[in-house]
Structure 1
């Protein structure tokens, strides 16, 4: 795959997304269509195969409209830039729905759409996690059935949304729906004819045909091997159905590989057997929790022949090199005695070929279950084979894990945004400091308590009321423990020097 190839999955830069939406909704759009090339020599045999299939499956396909709050990705500076844009072009977006009025701190609701699959008569709908966002996000959902009935946000419940599998389950308050029939994705054959059904580019109830091009493709983030098809899939197809000629669900359309933003010949779907296992687990346990052992796995740049020779291993040996062991809770690997430099070769008796192998094995283990690892460790110049047993923990949110390995990444769950009560009271946006010992100031609101205290962008807050702060949760606890209206003593690093200041918070509103 060339470096230009991108995975079409989610929105990119927040402010660019805002301007894109503004231009789309504020200006005129030119729609062009091209006629499909007529099929030659179509025999009567099978002429109506796809017509029959469409009649059977279309009632089970829905369109999912989403408005997602991206306020936690927009700084005060970007808000001001957007307000300036509105002032420069007042006729273009006088009152854009979902955006706050000029100068207000309300949410920015960005619209998008995808597809969904009805899997039960009583309203359960399967879709992609990236279509609806994380469970608990501030989103407004609207579902449109095949008969054009619209179901509003008040009648929709997000049951689960799981990033690693990119699957989500929602429930609408409706009965007597038409569920799709489950197929067996393990029985798919290369070259088998299939159809993709969904709402690409907001073109509802679109059906395209193709074949199975390959199975078990490792494409995109996550732990699920993908089905590759040449049935046309475009933005908006995500969450739609890939069906066999019997109208059975064999895949959930997920993504395309493209360097143009549109379809270029190949799309990818999550196998139906994985989707069914996800649904059954959620309906039984109320959630889908991935397993976690708490290690950082070295990439190919470190896990190479030279490194393996240095560890007294066979240069061709397959396995996972432990680059770091997590010390933050949860840390099963630390508890089990794993160390940096250990080379994992087996998990529960299964050979581990690479990082993805181990990730899949661990993520699919139940929280609280046991995992036996076989690994090699260099001791006194000799590589020794060892074993240990870990207790599987619940995997933390993906953005939290990313922030631990990439200090420049700001996890939503660790950021005090202005849209939150505490972030609004402080008047600043914080992120974990690169050294892990404090909170870096990413943005300060003019006129806020933080600005009055002399706090600036780039400062690092080391202590509050004499207590070290490393996370948003720790800071919140310190503030909650302080007396109402009492000033906060803040020790911070400013331009390389330690200094002390005081933040006077207003009383929290009831």
Structure 2
């Protein structure tokens, strides 16, 4: 026992030393972890920036837009069915092949379920919603999901397929609604905000600017607002909003090689959608004004020779149409519609289409180098169109005249009728290096040159003898049922 006590006494100084060291280290670590970092809260250089308060005010506006508009933006999910023809149905229709391969009967088609998603926005407290037609087209079931995650089944009240616009309705009350703006006041450079459901990410908010106005869409009645606001699949049908928090458009499409956003997106102007909505809600359908003309573009050379800045050619006037009743003729040039200048066929189409049947429009036209005004009372636009006949290829077999590298001959009645011409000569052939290849092709009819009617091959021969050395020519050409002006210079 005495030996053991001595051994413990010998170790005690070492134990005491270890305890002192541990205690010292504890004090040191305690001091280390009790220290704190003093973080800098202000960026002094930015704080000194002139007019920083204006930028902060803009930021507050953007926050307020998000807070006020997001509750009225909805996500839309759809379920539908697609019918797919069976490419092997006809092949296995033979009884022998059915027995050989063991098929009792080969179905003619298959049905496949489809699912899709898009966006929309509430325009009335009792549940009317604007969206795109392509979002709900062919849907058997439509579910609208609000920002607070409430879900409602929706029905389609009506749609405008040519505009790609649809109105939905859910059974609910006291809903948040968007503020409607005026798309006619939108200008390039304006702020443009999109809110929607891209890739299923509801409540996504993106900011950009208006890049261009009046972009032609896939139909003659689509004139889009173009923006650089990020829009992706699922944004379709959602609102495009200005800096005042008002809806100025319906996001509809993007231009992309990958299917995702690449800097160009398009929206239907809200004023255009409202005009369709008014007819859908009052009539149950959209009706557009119709003149009954076929329109053609006028190239720059032709405009120069006619001494006009713009204009759209009337290539053909339909029988018993509003245009014929008003006195319009083929080869008239429309310069203005209700006082607004036009330069493309789409300009006239959308201006006339935006009017209701029965409305009267005033056209300023150019006829035989003289301007005049003609009033046209519009008809209802038909829903179907007829195909154009191909021109006959039979040759007239009469004397020919060579002019500007082209071979012209007398046109027979079937060739005139096929091209929609009352008279003229037909282009039988043309050299590859001829200037005529720029404006016409074999089978086309020349009805006049430089305001000189060409009723037959004799008239054409006389014209070539008298004016064959001119530097410029203005042709009236009939082709496949259309009549148009084309100018050339050499």
Which range, TM-score by smaller chain?
A: 0.5 to 0.7
Question: Are the counterparts in 2 of residues 166 and 222 from structure 1 also a CA contact under 8 Å?
Answer: no
The offset of 1:80, in angstroms, is 8.2
Question: Do structure 1's residue 390 and structure 2's residue 402 form an aligned pair?
Answer: no
Measured on the aligned residues, the alpha-carbon RMSD in Å equals 3.6
The offset of 1:204, in angstroms, is 1.8
The offset of 1:172, in angstroms, is 1.7
Question: Do structure 1's residue 77 and structure 2's residue 81 form an aligned pair?
Answer: no
> Structure 2 length normalisation: TM-score?
0.57
The one of 215, 229, 232 aligned to 2:230: 232
The offset of 1:247, in angstroms, is 2.9
Shift of the 57–343 alpha-carbon distance from structure 1 to 2, 3 Å rule, reads same
**CA distance in 2 between partners of 1:65 and 1:237 (Å):** 12
SS in 1 for 2:225: strand
- Any residues of structure 2 matched to 1:118-129 within 5 Å, and which? 118-129=122-133
Question: Are the counterparts in 1 of residues 220 and 349 from structure 2 also a CA contact under 8 Å?
Answer: no
Question: Are the counterparts in 1 of residues 362 and 374 from structure 2 also a CA contact under 8 Å?
Answer: yes
SS in 2 for 1:259: coil
The offset of 1:366, in angstroms, is 1.2
SS in 1 for 2:351: helix
**CA distance in 1 between partners of 2:106 and 2:72 (Å):** 42
Question: Are the counterparts in 2 of residues 306 and 315 from structure 1 also a CA contact under 8 Å?
Answer: no
Shift of the 362–192 alpha-carbon distance from structure 1 to 2, 3 Å rule, reads closer
- Any residues of structure 2 matched to 1:425-436 within 5 Å, and which? none
**Structure 2: gaps (5+ residues):** 1-44, 92-104, 391-417, 419-490
Please list the CA deviations of residues 254-287 of structure 1 after superposition, one character each: whole Å capped at 9, or x if unmatched. 2222222211112222233333344344334443
The one of 247, 250, 256 aligned to 1:249: 247
SS in 1 for 2:306: coil
> Structure 1 length normalisation: TM-score?
0.55
Match of 2:70 in 1: 58
The offset of 1:385, in angstroms, is 5.1
Match of 1:195 in 2: 193
**Structure 1: gaps (5+ residues):** 1-39, 82-100, 408-434, 436-510
**CA distance in 2 between partners of 1:272 and 1:242 (Å):** 9
The offset of 1:233, in angstroms, is 0.5
Match of 1:404 in 2: 387
**CA distance in 1 between partners of 2:170 and 2:256 (Å):** 33
Question: Are the counterparts in 2 of residues 347 and 372 from structure 1 also a CA contact under 8 Å?
Answer: yes
Match of 2:315 in 1: 323
The offset of 1:196, in angstroms, is 0.8
Match of 1:352 in 2: 342
Shift of the 215–140 alpha-carbon distance from structure 1 to 2, 3 Å rule, reads same
Equivalences, count = 327
Question: Do structure 1's residue 206 and structure 2's residue 207 form an aligned pair?
Answer: no
- Any residues of structure 2 matched to 1:34-53 within 5 Å, and which? 45=56, 49-53=61-65
Match of 1:143 in 2: 144
- Any residues of structure 2 matched to 1:297-336 within 5 Å, and which? 297-298=295-296, 300=297, 303-304=298-299, 314=306, 316-326=308-318, 331-336=321-326
Match of 2:107 in 1: 103
**CA distance in 1 between partners of 2:389 and 2:241 (Å):** 39
Match of 1:176 in 2: 174
SS in 2 for 1:120: coil
- Any residues of structure 2 matched to 1:481-496 within 5 Å, and which? none
Shift of the 344–79 alpha-carbon distance from structure 1 to 2, 3 Å rule, reads farther
Match of 1:422 in 2: none
Shift of the 351–230 alpha-carbon distance from structure 1 to 2, 3 Å rule, reads closer
Shift of the 210–375 alpha-carbon distance from structure 1 to 2, 3 Å rule, reads closer
Question: Are the counterparts in 1 of residues 119 and 238 from structure 2 also a CA contact under 8 Å?
Answer: yes
**CA distance in 1 between partners of 2:216 and 2:78 (Å):** 28
**CA distance in 2 between partners of 1:116 and 1:173 (Å):** 16
Question: Are the counterparts in 2 of residues 160 and 288 from structure 1 also a CA contact under 8 Å?
Answer: no
Match of 2:6 in 1: none
Q: Which has the higher helix share?
A: 2
